[in-house]
Amino acid sequence: MLSIENVTSAYGRIEVLHGVTLRVEPGEIVTLIGANGAGKTTLMHAISGVQPITGGAIRFNGEPIEKRPAHERVAFGISQVPEGRQVFAPLSVLDNLRLGAWSRRDTDMEPELARVCALFPMLDAILDMPAGALSGGQQQMLAIGRALMAKPRLLLLDEPSMGLAPNLVDQLLAVIRALRDDSLTILLVEQNARAALAIADRAYVLETGRVTLSGPAAEIQADRRVREAYLGI
Amino acid sequence: MAELLQFAFSGLTVGAIYALVALGFTLIHNASDIINFAQGEFVMLGGMTTVFMATAGIPLPLAMLIAIVVTTGVGLALHRFAIEPARGASPVALIMITIGASVFLRGVAQIVFDKRFHSLPPLFGADPIQFGGAAILPQSLVVLAGAAVIVALLWLFVERTLLGKAVIATAANRLAARLIGVDTRRIVDFSFAVSAAIGAIAGILITPIALTSYDVGTLLALKGFAAAMLGGIGSPLGAVVGGLLIGMIEALCAGYVSSSYKDAAAFLIILVVLIAMPQGLFGRVKVERV
C-alpha cells in the first residue's frame, strides 16, 4: 500500500534521513520505533508531504506521490495524527471533527461523525467544548477522530501514547487494533516500543536516520539489541 | 456637551475606517504571520479607482463595484507574485516585501491616476443632520453602517461556514491544517483577497468625507496598524475596538489639544502599547493544555 524507497530528507544542509526504505501492506499495523531524534517524525512528515524530501521515492498504491502537495495526499487516503495532537485549540470539538472531513467536503459527513462518536464516546459528550480546554487524553482521541473523518485508507499515528496515563494507553491500543480490524492500514510511530510491538504485525527500527533492523514484530521484540536499547530488559 | 458629541462622531467615523484597515491586517496576519503594510494602498485603490471610473462616465455604483474587483485582484496578485515566490523567507523579509509593494503601488497610482486630491459625492447628500447640538454628515452614518455590515458578515462567515473554520484552523495551527488536507496557500490567497476588498470598501466609504489621493494609504496603514496593535494583533474584535478607540482619541486630541498633534496620538499609542502591554487589549489568552 505504502512503499518508501531510499528516501532522504534534510533541514537546511543537515541531512536527517539517510536513505530510508520501508513498506506497509494493506491491513497491517507496522510500527516504527527509535530514540528521540532518530528521524521518525521527519519521515512521517515526508509521507504526508509537509516535509520536503531530497531524494528517493514514496509510492501509495503503486502511484508515486512524492511530488504531490500535502492536501492531495490527504485526498488520496493518507491521514496523519501528528505528534503532540495539534488540535485546533480555539475551535469546538465538533468543528475540529468537521474540518477533518475537509478533503471530502462534497460528501455527507454525518455517518463518519456518528462512527467517530461511537468509537470515542467521551467526545460525544463534549462536542461544544473548545478543543484547547480538553485533557491530553481527550485531545488525543479528538486528533485521531479528526484524522478518521477524512475516511483514510492509511493512518499515520505519530507518538499517540505520549503523555497519556497507563490506562488511557491501553484504551488507545485497543482502539488502534479495532481500526485495523475494520480494514484500516496503520503506520505507528512510538517511543513506547513495548506497547507498539505488542499490537504491530511488523516493525522497523530507525536509528539516526537509517533503518537498522526490520521484521515481524515478535522477532524484533525478541532481538537482543532491541531488548537492551528500547525495552530496558 | 454638544462639542464633545461632535468630536465623538467624527472620531467614530474615522475610527470605523481604521477598524476596517486593522481588520485587513488581522486577516492576513492570522493566515500567514505577515504584517501587510500595503493594506493602506488597498484603501487608496478603492477610492481612486472609483473616482476615475466615475469621471470616465461609468455610473457610480458600477464604478464602486469595479474598484472593489480591481483592488481584490491587486491583493491576490500581491500574494501570488510577490509573497508566494518568497515562501519560506523569514516574516521580516516578507514584511519588507509588503513595504516594497506599498511603495510600488503608490508609484503606479501616481502614473495611472494623478497627484491631485479627489472626492466623491456623498451617497445621501451633504446636508448635516442636527443631533443634540452636533452636526452629523449623512456620509458618517454610511461609513458606520458600512463598517458594521462588514464586521457582521465576517463574523457570520467565521461562525457559520466551514471555510471560515478552516481560516481559523489555519491561523491556529498551520501544520495540522495542512495535515487534514487544507491547501493553506489558498487560505492565504483568500485572506489577501478579502483584506483587499475590505480595504477598497473602506476607501470608497471615506472618500466623500476625507478626500483621497495616491498617497493616503501610508498614514491609513500606520493608523490601522496602531489600531491592530492596541486591540491585540490577531484579534478581530481587538481590531474593531482598537480602530474606534484610535479614531476617538485622535478626534478628542484634535478638538481639545491641537489638530497639529492629531497624528501624533496614534503613534504615541503604538509606543505605549509596545512598552506597557505588547499583547494589546484583546491579545490571545491561551486556553491550551499540552
Residue B227: partners with Cβ closer than 8 Å, 6 or more residues away = B18, B19, B21, B22, B239, B242, B243, B245, B246, B266
Q: Is A34 left (phi over 0), alpha (psi -120 to 50) or beta?
A: left
Q: Does residue A69 share a domain with residue A156?
A: yes
C-alpha cell at A11: 533541514
Judged by CB atoms closer than 8 Å, whether chains meet at B169 and A99 is answered as: yes
Residue-averaged pLDDT of chain B: 90
B144 phi and psi, to 5 degrees? -60, -45
Domain boundary among A150, A179, A202: A150
Domain count, chain A: 2
Chain A residues whose C-beta sits inside 8 Å of any chain B C-beta:
48-50, 69-71, 74-75, 79-80, 82, 84, 86-91, 95, 98-100, 102-103, 105, 130, 132-136, 139, 146-147, 150
When scoring B163, B179, B186 by the number of chain A Cβ atoms within 10 A, the one with the most, hence best to mutate, is: B179
Residue A82 placed within a domain = no
Residue A105 placed within a domain = yes
- B247: Cα within 13 Å, side-chain hemisphere: 27
Residues A151-200: tens digit of each pLDDT: 999 999 999 998 888 888 988 999 999 999 988 999 999 888 888 998 99
Q: Does residue A92 share a domain with residue A62?
A: no
Q: Does residue A159 share a domain with residue A65?
A: yes
Q: Does residue A164 share a domain with residue A59?
A: yes
Residue A167 placed within a domain = yes
Q: Does residue A159 share a domain with residue A132?
A: no
Residues A115-145: tens digit of each pLDDT: 999 999 989 889 999 999 999 889 999 999 9
Q: Does residue A114 share a domain with residue A181?
A: no
Domain membership of residue A144 as a residue range: 88-150
> Pick the residue with more confidence: B80 or B273?
B80
Q: Does residue A66 share a domain with residue A14?
A: yes
Checking if the pLDDT of B289 tops 80, the result is: no
Give the A:B interface size as CB pairs under 8 Å. Answer: 82
Residue A83 placed within a domain = no
Tell me, what CATH number does A64's domain have?
3.40.50.300
Residue A158 placed within a domain = yes
What residues of B are in contact with residue A132 (Cβ under 8 Å)? Answer: 286-289
C-alpha cell at A207: 536509528
Q: Does residue A157 share a domain with residue A141?
A: no
Span B189-197, mean pLDDT? 96
What residues of A are in contact with residue B178 (Cβ under 8 Å)? Answer: 48-50, 70-71
Q: Does residue A159 share a domain with residue A203?
A: yes
CA distance linking residue A117 with residue B106, whole number of Å: 54
> B55 near B283, Cβ under 8 Å?
no
Residues A216-228: tens digit of each pLDDT: 988 888 888 888 7
**Angle, nearest 10°, between helix axes B162-172 and B184-210?**
100
From the list A102, A134, A136, the residue facing B182 with the nearest CB is: A102
Enter the ipTM.
0.92
CA distance linking residue B283 with residue B47, whole number of Å: 31
Checking if the pLDDT of A108 tops 90, the result is: no
Domain boundary among A116, A150, A184: A150
Judged by CB atoms closer than 8 Å, whether chains meet at B287 and A74 is answered as: no
Residue A52 placed within a domain = yes
Q: Does residue A162 share a domain with residue A105?
A: no
Looking at the DSSP assignment, which residues form a beta bridge with residue A5? A57
Residue A66 placed within a domain = yes
Q: Does residue A97 share a domain with residue A62?
A: no
Chain B residues whose C-beta sits inside 8 Å of any chain A C-beta:
162, 165-166, 168-169, 172-173, 175-183, 286-290
Residues A70-107: tens digit of each pLDDT: 999 999 999 999 999 999 999 999 999 999 999 987 67
Domain boundary among A98, A131, A150: A150
Q: B77-97 b/e with 16+ CB inside 10 Å = b? A: ebbeebbeeeeeeeeeebbeb
